[in-house]
Structures are given as structure tokens and as C-alpha cells.
Amino acid sequence: MELYNLPVHELHRLLVERQVSAGELTATFLERIAAVEPAVKAYLTLTREQALAGAGAVDDTTGRGEILAPLAGIPAALKDNLCTRGTRTTCASRILEHYLPPYTATVVERLEQAGMVSLGKTNMDEFAMGSSTENSGFGPTRNPWDPERVPGGSSGGSAAAVAAGEAAYALGSDTGGSIRQPAAFCGVVGLKPTYGLVSRYGLVAFASSLDQIGPLTREVRDCALVLQAIAGHDLRDSTSAHVAVPDYTAALTGEIKGMRLGVPREYFPAGMDPEVKTAVRRAVDKLEELGAILEEVSLPHTEYALPAYYLVAPAEASSNLARYDGVAYGHRAGGADNIIDMYCRTRQEGFGPEVKRRIMLGTYALSAGYHDAYYLKALKVRTLIRRDFEQVFAAYDALVTPTTPTVAFKLGEKVGDPLAMYLSDLFTIPVNMAGLPALSLPCGFSQGLPVGLQVIGRPFAEATVLQIAYAFEQATDYHLARPDLGVRGEK
């Protein structure tokens, strides 16, 4: 396999064995980016010089004979809603097109500490609002498996970059499925950690009570390694949990005998893609074969998660995005002679249609006279959703579900119908509403497109989730499949 198609843990071995230098590895990825980026469009900003300098520093370390950290010298990509000091951070929005943050997000600092070679910032739905990356202010990203199709979203650029060999791993953010859904669509592993496990400091907020940062990788082991580097308490995030971070790779035993796994019946509704259903059923059989005990369970409030989410998330977003007003940074509309006109025009010009739609929805849901009927009601429903999970987790170690109801859809297919677009996050949203950890990994194909299996765990039980995912992955070979991008040099 080409270097750019190898998982992180393999690349680490090659670096340790000095079969390749970080500089060579970085050059390989930069070449790969040059070759496939015109077709994929995963990146908004490339940081070529920074990457080469970072790789050089790692090679100096190796030259001194120091032990390499697992992520040292490994080229990675960052979703463009993670603040990077002095490097453009746009959230794929015109309103932040030229924005240079004066500080760096905690997760990025931690990865830099771990020796990350940062290749650049990836495309996304504007302010992470969307499920296809078509809401980017700078044009959509294509699915490496089929350029006519979306990579999913909102972390579409990160998922596509990993799938296309344009980065060994990437960070994304997940508010209602924005890591797992694109991971499923692009055939990679994506983990949304428990709310509070990973610091949100420096993640440009969409919906603060739901947002989490997580890894997108080729394999489960890589996912464990990246999570290891970014997890843990941060003094700068008040919602960051004080929990001990276990050794996640220690959970990768391949052993799941006797584990009790629930399969919620609400996650197989009528009308879902039958091939997706079949692939997930087969995965369930596989897990059973591996010795786990699988039983059907019920999460009765599942269908209410989506409408509740589309009140809570836009409400928080309407407030979080109020700061983009043209006063202290970002785009400012010209020609306004008073502050209110300046605000209204700046925001009208700077935001795309989906962002405005959600700001409108959220503002309405919080406004006088509607607050209780919409926003407060949604918070109560959130309690019910959380209780559903608590009840099943009393008897089960984890849940397995499809990640999405369908495989990647065609570009433009759902652009005119916001509600249809929202429905593609049907199976991922309840997890965010309850603050749980969940991972998507490849579990088959439908029409030649990847299907994702979602593993949902108890709060802070990432190790269990990784253990189950790893056992499944090692017993199958879906993770070895790579898209054919029709580029010279491709196998």
C-alpha cells in the first residue's frame, strides 16, 4: 500500500524504524494532495511550509535518538473551525474569510505537543451547520468514493481528506453527527467523545451544549491514539470533565466475548435504505459471532430527538453567532451610516442561507412568547432522551446501530429541502442530546458506497466503544478498502 494510504500506527512504525523520515512522509502527503485535491476539494487552507518545518523538527528529534510519540511526524488535517494562531480559520464562512486568530485551540496545542505535522484546514459546512459540506461558503467537497456524491458533513473535508489519503488523520467536530455521518459516508472511522472529555476551547462554537471535537482516522487503533492525545481536563473549558483518561490502546484486545450489546429497534425504521439495513444486520451477526450477546432494545423517545435538537442547537447557535457583527474582526459591510444597518448588512452578506435559516429558527424559538413552547419543551425532551439511554445502559455495555439511514447522497439532492437534509442525522443526533460517546466505522458497502456502523457507549466509556469497534474491524476487512480516485500511481 502507498504510504499515504497507511494507518497512523503503521506510519509510526516506519518512522521509528527509520524506513521513512517525517520530511519524506510529509512530502508524500503534499504530493498526494496536489494530485487529488482538484477532484476532492477537502482543504480550505494548506499550510505547506508549516508542515515541512514541523516534520523537520520531528526528524531532528529522531536524529537525536529520542523516542517518538505515537503521533509525532504524522501529517494531519484540522477542521477549519479549530482556531490556529496566525493561520486562517474561516469556519467555511465568508464572514471569517480572512480571519487570523491570535490564539490556538487546546486540542491543536495538544497535538502540536504530540508532534503533529499540520497539513492544513479542511472544508466544512459553514459554522458546522449541515450534513453534506455543500453549505461551505467556498464550494463543496466531493466524496472520494464518488465525486457526484457528498462526503457528508459538517466535517466533510476532514473525512474526505482521510479517505482520499490527503491526511493520515484529521480532527472534526460533532454537534449532531458531524464526525460520524461523514465518517460513514467516506468509509473511515470517526469518534464523537463524551461531552466534556475533550476541551472545546478554541473550537468555534455552533451549539455549545452539544459540540465535541473528535478524530477521523482510517483504523480504530489510530482513533484511540488521537483520542489519547486530545482527551483530558482543560482549565480553560468550564464544561471539561475531571476524569482520568485511561490508556485507550489497552482496550484494543479484539476480545468482546460476553459483552452485552443492545440493538435499538427505533434505529431500523421503515423506509431506510434496505442495503444499509442489511449491512448493519450482518455486522450485528458478526459481533454475535465474536461472542457478544446481542439483544433488541428500545429507546422510545428516539423520534423526538431530531425535532428537539433542531430547537436546542439553533437556539444556542443564534446566540453563539451573534458575535459576527463586523465590529472587532471579520467581514464588515461597507456603506452603512449607522450601527444597526452595519450589523444587518454585514450578517446578511457574511452568512450563507443555512446559517441564516438556523439563526432565524433559534432566535424565534427563544423569543418572547415562544420560549416555553419551543426551547423549554426541547430541553425537557432532552431529559427524556437521556433517560432512555440510562435505562438501557443499566443492562447493556453498549449499543450498535446504523450511523446513517442511507449511504452518501448526490450533490444538490437535498439542498432545496432543509428538512430532508436534517433527517440524514436521525441516528446520530440522540447521542449528542444525551452527551454520550459514539463511533462510526465501516461495516460494508451499498451501491459501491461505504456503510457505517455506530457503536454508542456509556458516558466516558470510550474504551469500551473502541474495544467493540476494534474487535469488529479486525474480524473484517472493510477498513482496508480505498476509493479509486483515478489518479496515476493508484493501485
Binders of another protein among residues 429 to 458 (CB under 8 A) are: 434-435
Asked if 329 interacts with another protein (CB under 8 A), we say yes
Q: Is 178 a catalytic residue?
A: yes
Length of the chain: 491
Q: Which x/- pattern over 270-309 shows residues binding another protein (rule: CB under 8 A)?
A: -------------------------------x-xx--xx-
Positions 98 through 127 that interact with another protein (CB under 8 A) = 99-103, 105
Q: Which of 340, 477, 489, 491 binds another protein (CB under 8 A)?
A: 340
Asked if 476 interacts with another protein (CB under 8 A), we say no
Asked if 391 interacts with another protein (CB under 8 A), we say no
d(CA 63, CA 238) in angstroms, rounded, equals 40
Q: Which of 112, 147, 332, 445 binds another protein (CB under 8 A)?
A: 332
Positions 211 through 270 that interact with another protein (CB under 8 A) = 235-239, 241
Minimal distance, residue 408 CB to another protein, in Å: 24
Q: Is 154 a catalytic residue?
A: yes
Asked if 345 interacts with another protein (CB under 8 A), we say yes
Q: Which of 250, 339, 475, 481 binds another protein (CB under 8 A)?
A: 339
Minimal distance, residue 175 CB to another protein, in Å: 12
Asked if 174 interacts with another protein (CB under 8 A), we say no
Positions 347 through 376 that interact with another protein (CB under 8 A) = 347-348, 351, 353, 356-357, 359-361, 363-364, 366-368, 370-371, 373-376
Q: Which of these ranges, 31-39, 134-142, 192-200, 449-457, lies near another protein under the rule CB under 8 A?
A: 192-200
Asked if 88 interacts with another protein (CB under 8 A), we say no
Asked if 395 interacts with another protein (CB under 8 A), we say no
Out of 154, 155, 240, 440, which one is annotated catalytic? 154
d(CA 422, CA 410) in angstroms, rounded, equals 15
The alpha carbon of 451 is separated from its chain's Cα centroid by a whole number of angstroms, namely 16
Active site (catalytic) residues = 79, 154, 178
